Structure 1
């Protein structure tokens, strides 16, 4: 089995928020870390990130930060009046295994900068322990509680959608913290672009305190792919024949195309920790696929499947960098390995679920998978040889620190071979996991499922 021994354990990395319109802070190495992920903000919104190596001399970091000052703010738009914003239901499905995190999340959700919203907490535990912490956690809060004892994140989210009263349903997770203006950013994007069926946003780390957390950022370059702060609209190619809606374009507000990619790569622009859909779209699709998602043998993929379904129908997805949440990455290497293995399982399981729902996916995948597999294999081999995955990096929109004269090199984090190893070995396990998941869900619906 691959181990982490080939790569030195990285020290903690600070996550530092810097207001680029204010005097720049002095950053030096100390007990909290000798490197930092700096998130540059303008007008209260993130516009760039970069890694900084810290020394005892604050002028070293200052030269790097100076290179960020010219990063432009996202083009401002006229504010949307409160009465024009859609009503929103925020759904959080939980198995109540992160009580403190859930409490902190609810503290913010109840007081978001949004005029008409509700918070729906779905208790998705199959069994409730005698020392149940949920009633005390919810006491005195203005949230609605929904119970869904059928297992799986998809079942929990679907129960939340069924109970939701909002025109838009937003989703996040119980290991996430949201910015106070998160919901307003989502709602305003729906108003400014009425053709959108879904909106996603930026996911930043809450902390990079452990090697596992640092490696996760380095391996993926962000939570779900290349981190960018450019607002785009994901538009499917409306071409005739088999490939209709199989490829999509990320289109900037000025109409130029930032990149083109296969619809199955939508994970670079969306993840379940930060996404919102029009309720009518969720109802038309039939909800999240219950054979996918955390809590099922398939381990994941339900969020990607919903985004793909949206685009496959000719819908549009807006990526809104003003909508920001902060995720607490897995803290231990064992947890990270399990997560990456689950990611591999979930991805191929999600492809199986798509093919089962629409056979045209099989024909499209037959054309696209060889190229995608080649790119992924090269990426994984690079990591297995001790280099960084090609998806690593911060995707900064500012000048790279190395381009700043006299600045120290950017913090560089080699990732261990085990990350690629665990993800790769998950891919072939996905189809069998999906079949088990489908069989289990049939047992659930028939009343034959009993949790162990």
Structure 2
């Protein structure tokens, strides 16, 4: 940036949302909120939503200054907490930051700048993993053998989606994408008014590793706009960067298996809601091109554990998807508009 040029303000205002559920992450919560407070562009408000934890709610109210603290008014889980914030957010764009992620300088400005284009309805950024100390690290970056990938501090890995981070195969510069990643994403407020909130029958509840609620919402939004004859865009902007802390329990084999299985189940649920073609459009290319290269690299490098991790993740994800497609497996899953007495544009719902 030229220091003699005036700073250009983003074209939209923003509400930043941080959803929390356990006081075991208190230090992370404080760090996340502080990283928003120190941005060069400030949101009109920061909302912290506490997911059905009265003690944590009272602590947040007492110790987090300068933020709005709300209890989750909906079904327990991340989707319900997000929907609670959406209902009261006043910014033109609603930005979501995970409670164990910290935003790097310039993050919010980078997320908001692309909204100068009226056809952009969502922008997401990159999430860099911050690994725990591990005896199974495969190189100096601290990357564990269960999540093989690049050797530098900010390098991606093919399985980093397992820990909610940007993975190899995603763009490395600003580009249009199918869906956003939950720990670092933003959407225009008008999207929620148009298509409703996050589906509360899928997504994370506490430590349950189910997900894909962001995928479903992004696909649903694009389909809704297209039905009205408008082509909209969702962008990946790597200049909007966060550091996402990875806890010890998420680098072991049991979590790899559980998260992969849950991803398959979640994709089956999403395919029920928005159709199999849209639900698996990105995954088909990933499985056909990205994973084989990773497997070959780890075999050549004589890292059998890492090669096994690639095979394990693919196998458990596929098995979870097959299980989720069986009759009745996703019978409880409904769109937000189907689980509320209001109109399709309502974001206030209790879930099924």
TM over 0.5: yes
CA 1:319–1:283 in 2, change beyond 3 Å: closer, same or farther?
same
Q: In the alignment, which residue of structure 2 is the partner of 1:317?
A: 234
Q: In the alignment, which residue of structure 2 is the partner of 1:414?
A: 307
Greater share of helix: 2
Q: CA deviation at 1:309?
A: 2.3
Residues 1:346 and 2:266 aligned together: yes
CA 1:147–1:379 in 2, change beyond 3 Å: closer, same or farther?
same
Larger radius of gyration: 1
Residues 1:220 and 2:137 aligned together: no
Residues 1:172 and 2:172 aligned together: no
CA 1:433–1:160 in 2, change beyond 3 Å: closer, same or farther?
farther
Q: CA deviation at 1:199?
A: 0.6
Match of 1:289 among 182, 185, 199: 199
Q: CA deviation at 1:229?
A: 2.5
In the alignment, the residues of structure 2 paired with residue 103 and residue 179 of structure 1 have an alpha-carbon distance, to the nearest angstrom, of 15
Q: CA deviation at 1:206?
A: 1.7
Match of 2:123 among 199, 209, 213: 199
Q: CA deviation at 1:158?
A: 0.9
In the alignment, the residues of structure 1 paired with residue 221 and residue 284 of structure 2 have an alpha-carbon distance, to the nearest angstrom, of 24
Q: CA deviation at 1:278?
A: 0.7
Pairs within 5 Å for 1:235-274:
266-267=178-179, 270-274=180-184
Q: In the alignment, which residue of structure 2 is the partner of 1:230?
A: 173
Residues 1:161 and 2:104 aligned together: no
Q: In angstroms, what is the RMSD of aligned CA positions? A: 3.9
Pairs within 5 Å for 1:82-97:
82=9, 84-96=10-22, 97=24
In the alignment, the residues of structure 2 paired with residue 293 and residue 88 of structure 1 have an alpha-carbon distance, to the nearest angstrom, of 24
Is this contact kept in 2: 1:291–1:353, CA < 8 A?
no
Unaligned 5+ runs, structure 2: 138-142, 150-156, 226-230, 341-347
Unaligned 5+ runs, structure 1: 1-42, 44-77, 235-265, 355-360, 394-408
Q: CA deviation at 1:343?
A: 1.5
* Matched length: 304
Is this contact kept in 1: 2:108–2:240, CA < 8 A?
yes
Report runs of 4+ in structure 1 exceeding 4 Å deviation: 371-375, 377-380, 445-449
In the alignment, the residues of structure 2 paired with residue 286 and residue 328 of structure 1 have an alpha-carbon distance, to the nearest angstrom, of 30
Q: In the alignment, which residue of structure 2 is the partner of 1:102?
A: 29
Secondary structure of 1:414's partner?
helix
CA 1:216–1:311 in 2, change beyond 3 Å: closer, same or farther?
farther
- 1:121-175 superposed Cα distances (whole Å, 9 cap, x missing partner): 11122x53xxx24433442511101212521221111111111010110012112
Secondary structure of 2:147's partner?
helix
Q: In the alignment, which residue of structure 2 is the partner of 1:7?
A: none
CA 1:287–1:194 in 2, change beyond 3 Å: closer, same or farther?
same
